[in-house]
């Protein structure tokens, strides 16, 4: 079946976005946008594209979940032994993209990446559902496996291992934090004349400029 997507388009009509009606630093604006997205987008508002590069400079991207946001940056959790973990070990910089279609908004983040403190990773892990805690042990992210049975056998093994006791955080699993250097806000507008506002970190302050669509 031939699917023609050339004429698939959406004309936006979002709220006006400008330097004059936004705060001096990006965290406050991001939290405002995220709060509205959580109302409009339900369970997917914290989904974000994480882009990394490997040791050869080749780009890789995937969807992960934002699990913490404060003045230090944007936190997510994964296996340190995953492909993205290896990429971040070689090149500790990343880009994030949030897309919220219900509010016609996008946010781009670029910055260096650091590992979250072990105590903070422990605290987050303790609040995960038990099945998700076991999943951190069961899955060896990115490793080639023969079939679904391989996963089910590991699942049975770790369920027996931790039967009747708390699941501890695997040493190979924890958090990363993207420390933002650039945060760009995009508000969809009619006729592709969108509003774009970019914050760039300069020492302990932020410079804010408006960009052409």
- Closest by CA to 64, choosing from 54, 72, 53, 75, is 75
User: Left (φ > 0), alpha (ψ -120 to 50) or beta: where does 195 sit?
Assistant: beta
- Closest by CA to 64, choosing from 44, 35, 39, 91, is 44
Query: Which candidate in 192, 196, 200, 210 is catalytic?
Result: 192
Q: Where are the beta strands (DSSP E) in the chain?
A: 47-53, 59-65, 68-70, 73-79, 93-100, 105-115, 173-187, 195-202, 205-211
Residues 6+ apart with CB under 8 A from 199: 25, 26, 182, 183, 184, 185, 206, 207, 208
Cα radius of gyration (the chain): 20
192 belongs to the catalytic site: yes
CA distance 39 to 21: 22
Torsion sign over Cα 27, 61, 103, 198:
positive
> Is residue 39 a contact partner of residue 73, using CB atoms and an 8 Å limit?
no
Q: Give the residue numbers marked as catalytic.
A: 192
């Amino acid at each position: 079946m031939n699917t023609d997507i050339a004429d698939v388009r959406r004309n936006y009509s979002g709220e006006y976005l400008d330097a004059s009606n936004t705060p001096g630093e990006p965290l406050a604006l991001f939290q405002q946008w995220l709060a509205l997205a959580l109302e409009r987008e339900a369970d997917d508002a914290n989904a974000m594209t994480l882009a990394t590069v490997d040791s050869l400079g080749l780009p890789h991207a995937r969807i992960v979940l934002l699990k913490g946001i404060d003045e230090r940056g944007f936190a997510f959790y994964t296996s340190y032994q995953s492909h993205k973990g290896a990429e971040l070990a070689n090149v500790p910089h990343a880009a994030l993209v949030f897309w919220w279609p219900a509010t016609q908004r996008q946010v781009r983040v670029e910055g260096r990446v650091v590992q979250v403190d072990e105590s903070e990773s422990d605290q987050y892990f303790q609040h995960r559902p038990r099945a998700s805690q076991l999943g951190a042990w069961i899955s060896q992210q990115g490793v080639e496996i023969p079939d679904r049975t391989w996963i089910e056998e590991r699942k049975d093994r770790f369920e027996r291992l931790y039967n009747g006791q708390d699941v501890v955080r695997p040493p190979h699993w924890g958090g990363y934090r993207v420390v933002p250097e650039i945060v760009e806000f995009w508000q969809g507008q009619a006729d592709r004349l969108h509003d774009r506002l970019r914050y760039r970190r300069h020492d302990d302050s932020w410079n804010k400029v408006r960009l052409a669509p």
